[in-house]
Amino acid sequence: MATETQEGTAPAEAQPAGLPQFDFQWWPGQIVWFLVMFLVVLAFVRLFAAPRVGGTIEAREGKISGDIADARRLKDEADAQAAAAAAETAQARAAAQRVAAEARAKAQAEVAARLAEEEAKLAEMAAVAEARIAKARDAAMANVAGIAADAAGAIVGKLTGRAATPTELAAARGA
Say what the pLDDT of residue 145 is.
Answer: 75
Sequential DSSP letters for 90-126: HHHHHHHHHHHHHHHHHHHHHHHHHHHHHHHHHHHHH
pLDDT at 174 over 70: no
pLDDT band for position 91 (cuts 50, 70, 90): very high
Stronger pLDDT, 67 or 169, i.e. the higher one: 67
Stronger pLDDT, 133 or 21, i.e. the higher one: 133
Say what the pLDDT of residue 87 is.
Answer: 94
pLDDT at 42 over 80: yes
Say what the pLDDT of residue 1 is.
Answer: 44
Single-letter residue type at 94? A
d(CA 169, CA 107): 67
- Whether the predicted model's global pTM rises above the 0.85 cut: no
Mean pLDDT of 74-81: 94
Give percent of the chain with pLDDT exceeding 70.
Answer: 89
